[in-house]
Structure 1
Amino acid sequence: MSTVLVLAELTPSGVRPATFELLTAARALGDPAAVVVGEAGDDVVAQLGNYGATTVYAVGGAAAEDYLSVPKAEALVQVAQQANPSAILITSGSEGKDIAARVAVRLDSGIVTDAVSVADEGGTIVAAQAIVAGTYHATSEVTRGPAVITMRPNATNAEQAAATPSVENVDVAISDAAKGASITARNPKVSTGRPELTDAAVVVAGGRGVGSPEGMGVIEQLADTLGGAVGATRAVTDLGWAAHDIQVGQTGKTVAPSLYVAAGVSGAIQHRAGMQSSKTIVAVNKDANAPIFAISDFGVVGDLHQVLPALVDAIAAKRG
């Protein structure tokens, strides 16, 4: 069975959940092997093994700690040259796409970004994408080199498949050019207690219909009740009612949660491009003709400031 490399992403608490999704997707293509650029402790190795990684390539040193994405790309290239994989899976995002592009160039490989699924069709790696702001789905074949594919978080359900991975410590040579930009300081983001927007299984997003900065409070209340993340449209962030780092859309972040609640969101195509791969979409809007209803699984025509508090109360009553 061919090897499929997965670039593991670490957080202070362990492995980023999106990595487990990649390992799940990798099992459809071959034998999953995780590449850890950084500290591959016993807890990290065990977590990766729980989702099917049979090998963990541990790349130590300062490549992950002191520099930006280029050393990670060079490390992944060198591991790929050693492992000879059929595919390399990376989580989509600003860093992931940067790494993937550099890896594809170095390996002279085909690349597919923002894939929502992957498959092996007779030895050919095939990736499906949602394109043209999610209006169409495209299927692409990678015909040269190991397929380099970035996958959207939440596009695949992470499923455990326990394995006992072997750990291979890899020494890589990082070029001086890769060290041209270094990290001089870190200021951790203040935690809200909510999950990261791109990783969240539930997202509650507010649009211009919230009416004011204070109006985002009801969005936050529902998100906290559901254990989800808070999102916003570009109009809301441009007005200063919410931070730009929670903007969902073509010029913001792309999400694909199990549940997406769009409250006061009209459904402009730019916003839909960032969320319409969500598995279940619920819309609340006073305008019965709002475009968001065209892609919603469930819709409520009403004032979000009345509907959402009632929903919070109903959930609380249900939970007892």
Structure 2
Amino acid sequence: MILAFVETDASGATEVSREALTLAARMGAPLHAVVVGALPDGVVEQLGRYGVEVVHHAVGDAVAAFGGAAWAAAVQDAAGDAGVVVAPGTPRGMEVAAHLAARLDVPMAANVVAAGAGDPLRVTRQVVGGSVLEEMELPARPAVLTVAGHAVEDEPGDGVTATLRTFTPQVADADLVARVVSVEPVDDAGRSDALTSARVVVGAGRGAGSAAGFDATVELAELLGGALGVSRVVTSLGWRPHHEQIGQTGSRISPDVYIPCGISGAIQHWAGCASSRTILAINSDEAAPMVTKATYAVIGDMHEVVPAINAEIRRRRG
């Protein structure tokens, strides 16, 4: 049996969770899922469309709010004799999987993009910021892994009728030392997940020149229905907030299209954007690492190129 840890929001299973379910279903074993905390209406039926036979719903005061160790305890209770535990490659998914692997004293494979069905389990995962694919074996049971965001297409299967099992996990006081105690609402502009879930991201770096130099890139992101991301130097200089930062110490993105403007492409930034499916770099330096790695590149001043793109988009839209 394979157990998938599923994150939810108001609309049901999150996108990266659905991608993780798709990968898990391809492994050929009976599939169960565990949801901790809120269970949105219709999510049991939704998970059934991915082949989930049983949905384990963990409830109780100890897991009502997020806590990595407490939620890992809930997943461990649901796992039973599962041979594989799969989690989405999100900050929460990574934290829960890491706690679970530590509790079970087994290795964890992060950022998996493909998995077999043999024994030992063989997986392919992204390393070095997604620029290298590594194959590894997980001989221990259960095998614990996280699925890299947007590396697997979200594909429901033939579907089954899922049943719901509600349980209260055993959570020790030590598991509650670190947990969410309050949540402050923010608008969409302040959500870091708006960046990581965007299908189009427009990036801006030192080439913006100043805090006032982002108007054109912000407009381009809005015209394309995407999100704005920035390099570390931009946040270090205080030009833009940290939740917009892409890179090793920021957010990891996997959009369909990434348009980095005035970003040199240092390895720390590349670690956060290497999973982008198509990269269109705009840079005045044709030898910049971002230009040499991009799918397409425009060599020019971002302050001239981006406004021209915006004007053309507006013209074509009338």
Per the TM superposition, whether the score is higher than 0.5 is yes
Matches within 5 A, 1:188-267: 188-192=185-189, 196-267=194-265
Gaps of 5+ in 1: none
Q: Count how many residue pairs are aligned between Structure 1 and Structure 2.
A: 315
Aligned partner of 1:145 in structure 2 is: 141
Conserved 8 A contact 1:38-1:58:
yes
1:304 to 290, 302, 305: 302
Bigger mean CA offset, 225-234 vs 304-313 = 304-313
Aligned partner of 2:103 in structure 1 is: 106
Per-residue CA distance 1:252-276 (angstroms, 9 max, x = gap): 1211211111111111111111111
Conserved 8 A contact 2:122-2:136:
yes
**Corresponding residue SS for 1:274:** helix
Matches within 5 A, 1:40-59: 40-59=39-58
What percentage of residue pairs aligned between the two structures are identical? 36
Relative to structure 1, is the Cα distance of residues 67 and 42 closer, same or farther in structure 2, using a 3 angstrom cutoff? Answer: closer
Aligned partner of 1:184 in structure 2 is: 181
Q: How far off is 1:135 after superposition?
A: 4.0
Conserved 8 A contact 1:67-1:181:
no
Per-residue CA distance 1:270-293 (angstroms, 9 max, x = gap): 111111121111100011111111
Matches within 5 A, 1:109-120: 109-115=106-112, 117-120=113-116
The reply on whether 1:158 has 2:158 as its aligned counterpart is: no
Per-residue CA distance 1:184-230 (angstroms, 9 max, x = gap): 32211222298622222221111111112222222221112222121
Q: How far off is 1:127 after superposition?
A: 2.2
CA distance in 2, matches of 1:185, 1:119: 37
Aligned partner of 2:168 in structure 1 is: 171
Gaps of 5+ in 2: none
Aligned partner of 1:128 in structure 2 is: 124
**Corresponding residue SS for 2:212:** coil
CA distance in 2, matches of 1:12, 1:298: 37
Relative to structure 1, is the Cα distance of residues 63 and 258 closer, same or farther in structure 2, using a 3 angstrom cutoff? Answer: farther
CA distance in 1, matches of 2:175, 2:190: 35
Conserved 8 A contact 1:28-1:118:
no
Query: What is the root-mean-square deviation of aligned Cα atoms in Å?
Result: 2.1
Q: How far off is 1:138 after superposition?
A: 0.9
Aligned partner of 2:84 in structure 1 is: 87
Per-residue CA distance 1:73-129 (angstroms, 9 max, x = gap): 000011112xx22211112243322211221122232211122x1221534322222
CA distance in 2, matches of 1:157, 1:184: 34
Relative to structure 1, is the Cα distance of residues 169 and 247 closer, same or farther in structure 2, using a 3 angstrom cutoff? Answer: same
Relative to structure 1, is the Cα distance of residues 289 and 148 closer, same or farther in structure 2, using a 3 angstrom cutoff? Answer: same
Q: How far off is 1:179 after superposition?
A: 2.3
TM-score (norm 2): 0.91
Amino acid in structure 2 at the alignment position of 1:309:
P
**Corresponding residue SS for 1:197:** helix
Amino acid in structure 1 at the alignment position of 2:219:
Q
Relative to structure 1, is the Cα distance of residues 269 and 87 closer, same or farther in structure 2, using a 3 angstrom cutoff? Answer: same
CA distance in 1, matches of 2:2, 2:262: 43
Conserved 8 A contact 1:67-1:179:
no
